[in-house]
Amino acid sequence: MTVAFKELTKAPYRFDIVGSFLRPSELKEARQKFIDNEIDATSLRVVEDQAIIDLLAKQEKHGLKSVTDGEFRRSWWHLDFFWGLNGVKKVASSKGYEFEGEITRAETATLSGLISGTNHPFVADFKFANEHVSQGTNVKQTIPAPAQFLAELQRPENQADVQKFYNNEEALIQAIATSYRQVISDLYDAGCRTIQFDDCTWGMLAGLHNANLNNAIDEETLEKSKAVYVRVNNLALVGKPDDLVVNTHVCRGNYHSHWASAGGYESVATPLFDQENVNAYFLEYDSNRAGGFEPLAKVTQGKYVVLGLVTSKNGELEDQNELIERVHEASRYVPLEYLCLSTQCGFASTEEGNILTEDDQWAKIELVKTVAQKIWGNY
Protein backbone atom coordinates (compact mmCIF):
# COMPACT_ATOMS: atom_id res chain seq x y z
CA MET A 1 0.00 0.00 0.00
CA THR A 2 1.33 3.42 -0.97
CA VAL A 3 1.39 5.97 1.83
CA ALA A 4 0.57 9.55 0.85
CA PHE A 5 2.57 12.11 2.80
CA LYS A 6 1.41 15.67 3.08
CA GLU A 7 3.40 18.39 1.42
CA LEU A 8 5.18 20.56 3.96
CA THR A 9 4.41 24.23 3.42
CA LYS A 10 6.82 25.63 5.97
CA ALA A 11 10.27 24.71 7.20
CA PRO A 12 11.54 22.13 7.55
CA TYR A 13 10.94 20.65 4.11
CA ARG A 14 11.35 17.00 3.14
CA PHE A 15 14.77 17.75 1.67
CA ASP A 16 16.49 20.66 3.33
CA ILE A 17 19.81 22.31 4.12
CA VAL A 18 21.45 23.48 7.31
CA GLY A 19 22.62 26.81 5.92
CA SER A 20 26.23 27.53 5.03
CA PHE A 21 27.85 27.07 1.61
CA LEU A 22 31.40 27.02 0.32
CA ARG A 23 32.60 30.55 -0.43
CA PRO A 24 33.37 31.06 -4.13
CA SER A 25 36.93 32.02 -5.01
CA GLU A 26 36.06 35.60 -5.93
CA LEU A 27 34.52 36.13 -2.50
CA LYS A 28 37.52 34.65 -0.71
CA GLU A 29 39.84 36.88 -2.74
CA ALA A 30 37.78 39.99 -1.96
CA ARG A 31 37.71 39.21 1.74
CA GLN A 32 41.49 38.82 1.80
CA LYS A 33 41.90 42.11 -0.03
CA PHE A 34 39.66 43.74 2.57
CA ILE A 35 41.78 42.29 5.38
CA ASP A 36 44.89 43.59 3.63
CA ASN A 37 43.31 47.06 3.27
CA GLU A 38 43.36 46.82 -0.52
CA ILE A 39 39.58 47.40 -0.78
CA ASP A 40 37.05 49.03 1.55
CA ALA A 41 33.91 47.58 3.14
CA THR A 42 31.69 48.96 0.39
CA SER A 43 33.69 47.21 -2.31
CA LEU A 44 33.65 43.97 -0.33
CA ARG A 45 29.88 44.17 0.03
CA VAL A 46 29.46 44.53 -3.73
CA VAL A 47 31.25 41.22 -4.20
CA GLU A 48 29.24 39.64 -1.39
CA ASP A 49 25.99 40.87 -2.92
CA GLN A 50 26.68 39.27 -6.29
CA ALA A 51 27.90 36.02 -4.74
CA ILE A 52 24.71 35.81 -2.66
CA ILE A 53 22.47 36.55 -5.65
CA ASP A 54 24.20 33.78 -7.61
CA LEU A 55 23.91 31.36 -4.69
CA LEU A 56 20.22 32.03 -4.16
CA ALA A 57 19.55 31.30 -7.84
CA LYS A 58 21.53 28.03 -7.63
CA GLN A 59 19.60 26.90 -4.57
CA GLU A 60 16.31 27.53 -6.32
CA LYS A 61 17.57 25.73 -9.42
CA HIS A 62 18.29 22.66 -7.29
CA GLY A 63 14.73 22.70 -5.97
CA LEU A 64 15.31 23.96 -2.45
CA LYS A 65 12.25 25.60 -0.92
CA SER A 66 14.18 26.99 2.03
CA VAL A 67 17.32 28.93 1.08
CA THR A 68 19.96 31.02 2.83
CA ASP A 69 22.55 33.61 1.89
CA GLY A 70 25.14 30.90 2.50
CA GLU A 71 26.45 32.91 5.47
CA PHE A 72 28.63 34.62 2.85
CA ARG A 73 28.96 37.82 4.88
CA ARG A 74 30.35 35.95 7.89
CA SER A 75 33.72 34.61 8.89
CA TRP A 76 32.25 32.37 11.60
CA TRP A 77 28.84 30.75 11.93
CA HIS A 78 28.42 32.21 15.43
CA LEU A 79 30.91 34.94 16.33
CA ASP A 80 29.81 37.40 13.63
CA PHE A 81 26.29 37.37 15.09
CA PHE A 82 27.62 37.98 18.60
CA TRP A 83 29.83 40.82 17.37
CA GLY A 84 26.74 42.41 15.79
CA LEU A 85 25.05 42.81 19.17
CA ASN A 86 25.50 46.06 21.07
CA GLY A 87 27.79 45.75 24.06
CA VAL A 88 29.83 42.96 22.45
CA LYS A 89 33.34 43.29 21.07
CA LYS A 90 35.62 41.16 18.94
CA VAL A 91 38.87 40.14 20.62
CA ALA A 92 41.71 37.73 20.08
CA SER A 93 41.36 34.56 22.11
CA SER A 94 44.09 32.89 24.13
CA LYS A 95 43.51 29.72 22.10
CA GLY A 96 41.38 28.60 19.18
CA TYR A 97 38.55 26.10 19.45
CA GLU A 98 39.88 22.54 19.64
CA PHE A 99 38.85 20.10 16.94
CA GLU A 100 40.02 16.57 16.30
CA GLY A 101 43.29 17.12 14.44
CA GLU A 102 43.09 20.91 14.12
CA ILE A 103 42.76 24.09 16.18
CA THR A 104 40.86 27.04 14.76
CA ARG A 105 41.78 30.67 14.47
CA ALA A 106 41.86 32.26 17.92
CA GLU A 107 38.99 34.74 18.22
CA THR A 108 36.11 35.20 20.64
CA ALA A 109 33.36 37.59 21.71
CA THR A 110 33.33 39.35 25.05
CA LEU A 111 31.46 42.27 26.57
CA SER A 112 32.20 45.96 26.29
CA GLY A 113 28.89 47.12 27.76
CA LEU A 114 25.30 46.09 28.40
CA ILE A 115 23.92 43.75 25.75
CA SER A 116 21.28 44.95 23.30
CA GLY A 117 19.88 43.57 20.06
CA THR A 118 18.85 46.83 18.42
CA ASN A 119 19.91 47.51 14.82
CA HIS A 120 21.58 44.15 14.33
CA PRO A 121 23.31 44.00 10.90
CA PHE A 122 21.85 40.56 10.18
CA VAL A 123 18.45 42.20 9.68
CA ALA A 124 19.69 44.17 6.67
CA ASP A 125 21.44 41.03 5.43
CA PHE A 126 18.15 39.14 5.58
CA LYS A 127 16.31 41.89 3.72
CA PHE A 128 18.83 41.71 0.88
CA ALA A 129 18.47 37.96 0.50
CA ASN A 130 14.69 38.16 0.73
CA GLU A 131 14.61 40.70 -2.09
CA HIS A 132 16.48 38.35 -4.45
CA VAL A 133 14.43 35.16 -4.39
CA SER A 134 11.41 34.08 -6.39
CA GLN A 135 7.93 34.39 -4.95
CA GLY A 136 7.20 31.41 -2.73
CA THR A 137 10.84 30.73 -1.83
CA ASN A 138 11.46 30.82 1.90
CA VAL A 139 14.61 32.59 3.11
CA LYS A 140 15.80 31.03 6.34
CA GLN A 141 17.85 33.11 8.74
CA THR A 142 20.42 31.11 10.68
CA ILE A 143 21.73 32.50 13.96
CA PRO A 144 23.65 30.90 16.81
CA ALA A 145 21.45 29.83 19.70
CA PRO A 146 21.25 31.99 22.83
CA ALA A 147 22.83 29.08 24.71
CA GLN A 148 25.80 29.32 22.37
CA PHE A 149 26.26 32.97 23.25
CA LEU A 150 26.04 32.18 26.94
CA ALA A 151 28.64 29.44 26.53
CA GLU A 152 30.98 31.85 24.71
CA LEU A 153 30.71 34.43 27.47
CA GLN A 154 31.32 31.75 30.09
CA ARG A 155 34.77 30.97 28.67
CA PRO A 156 37.27 31.67 31.50
CA GLU A 157 39.07 34.39 29.54
CA ASN A 158 35.80 36.34 29.15
CA GLN A 159 34.66 36.21 32.75
CA ALA A 160 36.33 39.43 33.90
CA ASP A 161 34.66 41.47 31.14
CA VAL A 162 31.26 39.89 31.73
CA GLN A 163 31.36 40.56 35.46
CA LYS A 164 31.91 44.27 34.86
CA PHE A 165 28.33 44.46 33.60
CA TYR A 166 26.49 41.43 35.01
CA ASN A 167 27.27 40.28 38.53
CA ASN A 168 25.29 37.04 38.38
CA GLU A 169 24.29 34.41 35.84
CA GLU A 170 20.58 35.20 36.02
CA ALA A 171 21.12 38.81 35.01
CA LEU A 172 23.26 37.66 32.08
CA ILE A 173 20.67 35.11 30.96
CA GLN A 174 17.91 37.71 31.03
CA ALA A 175 20.04 40.17 29.03
CA ILE A 176 20.85 37.56 26.40
CA ALA A 177 17.20 36.54 26.06
CA THR A 178 16.06 40.15 25.78
CA SER A 179 18.63 40.97 23.11
CA TYR A 180 17.63 37.92 21.09
CA ARG A 181 13.94 38.80 21.34
CA GLN A 182 14.77 42.19 19.85
CA VAL A 183 16.66 40.68 16.91
CA ILE A 184 13.93 38.10 16.33
CA SER A 185 11.27 40.83 16.36
CA ASP A 186 13.25 42.95 13.89
CA LEU A 187 13.79 39.97 11.59
CA TYR A 188 10.08 39.22 11.69
CA ASP A 189 9.21 42.83 10.85
CA ALA A 190 11.61 42.55 7.90
CA GLY A 191 9.61 39.59 6.57
CA CYS A 192 11.48 36.65 8.07
CA ARG A 193 9.27 33.65 8.88
CA THR A 194 11.92 30.99 9.51
CA ILE A 195 14.75 31.26 12.03
CA GLN A 196 17.20 28.49 12.86
CA PHE A 197 19.11 28.36 16.14
CA ASP A 198 22.47 26.73 15.43
CA ASP A 199 23.55 25.13 18.66
CA CYS A 200 26.72 23.18 19.45
CA THR A 201 26.14 23.31 23.21
CA TRP A 202 24.14 20.07 23.25
CA GLY A 203 26.62 18.18 21.11
CA MET A 204 29.48 19.31 23.31
CA LEU A 205 27.61 18.34 26.49
CA ALA A 206 26.88 14.92 25.03
CA GLY A 207 30.55 14.53 24.20
CA LEU A 208 31.68 15.55 27.66
CA HIS A 209 29.34 13.02 29.26
CA ASN A 210 31.96 10.33 28.89
CA ALA A 211 33.80 8.89 31.86
CA ASN A 212 36.72 7.93 29.64
CA LEU A 213 37.57 11.57 28.94
CA ASN A 214 40.03 13.51 31.06
CA ASN A 215 37.72 16.54 30.93
CA ALA A 216 34.45 14.65 31.46
CA ILE A 217 31.82 16.53 33.46
CA ASP A 218 29.98 15.10 36.43
CA GLU A 219 26.21 14.51 36.57
CA GLU A 220 25.52 17.62 38.63
CA THR A 221 27.33 19.88 36.16
CA LEU A 222 25.62 18.16 33.22
CA GLU A 223 22.15 18.65 34.69
CA LYS A 224 22.82 22.28 35.61
CA SER A 225 24.17 23.07 32.15
CA LYS A 226 21.21 21.44 30.41
CA ALA A 227 18.73 23.36 32.52
CA VAL A 228 20.47 26.68 31.85
CA TYR A 229 20.80 26.09 28.11
CA VAL A 230 17.18 25.12 27.51
CA ARG A 231 16.01 27.98 29.71
CA VAL A 232 17.92 30.72 27.88
CA ASN A 233 16.85 29.34 24.51
CA ASN A 234 13.20 29.24 25.53
CA LEU A 235 13.33 32.68 27.14
CA ALA A 236 14.47 34.13 23.83
CA LEU A 237 11.33 32.74 22.20
CA VAL A 238 8.85 34.18 24.67
CA GLY A 239 6.24 36.23 22.80
CA LYS A 240 7.34 35.18 19.31
CA PRO A 241 4.63 35.52 16.62
CA ASP A 242 2.62 32.35 15.99
CA ASP A 243 3.54 32.27 12.29
CA LEU A 244 7.28 32.53 12.95
CA VAL A 245 8.88 29.09 12.66
CA VAL A 246 11.91 28.51 14.85
CA ASN A 247 13.92 25.33 14.30
CA THR A 248 17.26 24.32 15.75
CA HIS A 249 20.36 22.54 14.48
CA VAL A 250 22.49 20.46 16.84
CA CYS A 251 26.09 19.86 15.84
CA ARG A 252 29.28 18.33 17.18
CA GLY A 253 31.58 20.72 15.36
CA ASN A 254 32.21 21.40 11.69
CA TYR A 255 35.48 23.15 10.91
CA HIS A 256 37.52 22.47 7.79
CA SER A 257 36.03 18.94 7.71
CA HIS A 258 37.04 18.30 11.33
CA TRP A 259 34.82 17.52 14.33
CA ALA A 260 34.98 18.60 17.96
CA SER A 261 32.83 16.20 19.96
CA ALA A 262 31.61 12.60 20.00
CA GLY A 263 28.67 11.22 21.92
CA GLY A 264 25.07 10.16 21.36
CA TYR A 265 21.98 12.19 22.27
CA GLU A 266 21.01 10.01 25.24
CA SER A 267 22.36 12.31 27.94
CA VAL A 268 20.78 15.48 26.48
CA ALA A 269 17.51 14.12 25.00
CA THR A 270 15.82 15.59 28.06
CA PRO A 271 15.40 18.56 28.01
CA LEU A 272 16.49 19.14 24.40
CA PHE A 273 13.86 16.99 22.67
CA ASP A 274 10.99 17.33 25.10
CA GLN A 275 11.32 20.83 26.55
CA GLU A 276 12.92 23.17 23.99
CA ASN A 277 10.19 25.23 22.32
CA VAL A 278 11.18 24.70 18.71
CA ASN A 279 9.29 23.29 15.73
CA ALA A 280 12.02 20.97 14.42
CA TYR A 281 15.47 19.57 15.10
CA PHE A 282 18.16 19.36 12.41
CA LEU A 283 20.31 16.58 13.85
CA GLU A 284 23.79 15.36 13.01
CA TYR A 285 23.60 11.67 12.14
CA ASP A 286 26.28 11.12 9.51
CA SER A 287 28.63 9.06 11.67
CA ASN A 288 28.63 6.80 14.70
CA ARG A 289 29.78 9.77 16.79
CA ALA A 290 26.09 10.75 17.02
CA GLY A 291 24.98 7.39 18.37
CA GLY A 292 21.70 5.68 17.56
CA PHE A 293 18.16 6.87 16.92
CA GLU A 294 16.74 5.63 20.23
CA PRO A 295 16.88 9.05 21.98
CA LEU A 296 14.46 10.38 19.34
CA ALA A 297 11.71 8.67 21.29
CA LYS A 298 11.91 11.72 23.59
CA VAL A 299 10.93 14.15 20.80
CA THR A 300 7.63 15.82 21.66
CA GLN A 301 4.73 14.63 19.53
CA GLY A 302 4.14 16.94 16.55
CA LYS A 303 7.71 18.15 16.25
CA TYR A 304 9.80 17.40 13.16
CA VAL A 305 13.23 15.78 13.01
CA VAL A 306 15.52 16.47 10.06
CA LEU A 307 17.96 13.60 9.83
CA GLY A 308 21.44 14.80 8.89
CA LEU A 309 22.46 11.48 7.36
CA VAL A 310 24.47 12.91 4.47
CA THR A 311 27.86 14.26 5.49
CA SER A 312 29.02 17.71 4.42
CA LYS A 313 32.58 16.93 5.51
CA ASN A 314 33.65 15.21 2.30
CA GLY A 315 32.52 14.74 -1.27
CA GLU A 316 31.94 10.98 -1.21
CA LEU A 317 28.29 10.24 -1.99
CA GLU A 318 26.40 7.97 0.37
CA ASP A 319 24.52 4.91 -0.88
CA GLN A 320 20.87 5.79 -1.55
CA ASN A 321 19.48 2.49 -0.32
CA GLU A 322 21.42 2.74 2.94
CA LEU A 323 20.06 6.25 3.49
CA ILE A 324 16.52 5.03 2.89
CA GLU A 325 17.04 2.18 5.34
CA ARG A 326 18.33 4.55 8.01
CA VAL A 327 15.36 6.89 7.60
CA HIS A 328 13.00 3.95 8.09
CA GLU A 329 15.03 2.86 11.11
CA ALA A 330 14.57 6.32 12.62
CA SER A 331 10.82 6.09 11.94
CA ARG A 332 10.62 3.49 14.73
CA TYR A 333 10.97 6.44 17.12
CA VAL A 334 9.51 9.40 15.17
CA PRO A 335 6.68 8.82 12.66
CA LEU A 336 7.87 8.96 9.05
CA GLU A 337 5.54 11.86 8.32
CA TYR A 338 7.49 13.92 10.87
CA LEU A 339 10.91 13.10 9.42
CA CYS A 340 12.91 15.00 6.80
CA LEU A 341 16.41 14.71 5.33
CA SER A 342 19.43 17.00 5.05
CA THR A 343 23.19 17.07 5.31
CA GLN A 344 24.49 16.84 8.87
CA CYS A 345 25.74 20.43 8.83
CA GLY A 346 26.49 23.25 6.43
CA PHE A 347 29.37 23.08 3.98
CA ALA A 348 31.29 26.00 5.46
CA SER A 349 30.55 26.77 9.09
CA THR A 350 33.50 29.12 8.85
CA GLU A 351 34.93 30.87 5.81
CA GLU A 352 37.61 28.18 5.46
CA GLY A 353 34.96 25.72 4.33
CA ASN A 354 35.02 21.95 4.37
CA ILE A 355 37.35 19.92 2.18
CA LEU A 356 35.22 19.23 -0.87
CA THR A 357 34.48 21.02 -4.12
CA GLU A 358 31.50 23.15 -5.09
CA ASP A 359 30.47 20.38 -7.49
CA ASP A 360 30.60 17.94 -4.57
CA GLN A 361 28.46 20.33 -2.55
CA TRP A 362 25.68 20.44 -5.12
CA ALA A 363 25.91 16.69 -5.71
CA LYS A 364 25.26 16.20 -1.98
CA ILE A 365 22.17 18.40 -2.19
CA GLU A 366 20.93 16.48 -5.22
CA LEU A 367 21.46 13.24 -3.30
CA VAL A 368 19.38 14.52 -0.39
CA LYS A 369 16.68 15.60 -2.83
CA THR A 370 16.62 12.29 -4.71
CA VAL A 371 16.43 10.16 -1.57
CA ALA A 372 13.77 12.37 0.00
CA GLN A 373 11.63 12.12 -3.10
CA LYS A 374 11.92 8.34 -3.08
CA ILE A 375 10.68 8.26 0.51
CA TRP A 376 8.08 11.02 0.69
CA GLY A 377 7.23 11.83 -2.94
CA ASN A 378 8.00 14.65 -5.34
CA TYR A 379 7.42 17.67 -3.14
CA–CA separation, 70 and 51 (whole Å): 9
Q: Is the pLDDT of residue 211 over 70?
A: no
Cβ neighbors of 132 (< 8 A, separation 6 or more) are: 52, 53, 56
2 pLDDT more than 90: no
CA angle, 188 as apex, 187 and 190 as ends, to 5°?
65
Segment 160-191, tens digit of pLDDT: 999 999 999 999 999 999 999 999 999 999 99
Distance, CA of 125 to CA of 80 (rounded, Å)? 12
pLDDT at 1: 40
- What pLDDT, on a 0 to 100 scale, did the predictor assign at position 217? 85
pLDDT at 214 over 70: no
What average pLDDT does this structure show over 121-137?
A: 97
Mean pLDDT of the region 287-309: 97
Mean pLDDT of the chain: 96
Phi–psi pair at 369, nearest 5 degrees = -60, -50
Domains and CATH numbers, the chain: 25-376 (3.20.20.210)
Please tell me the pTM assigned to this model.
0.96
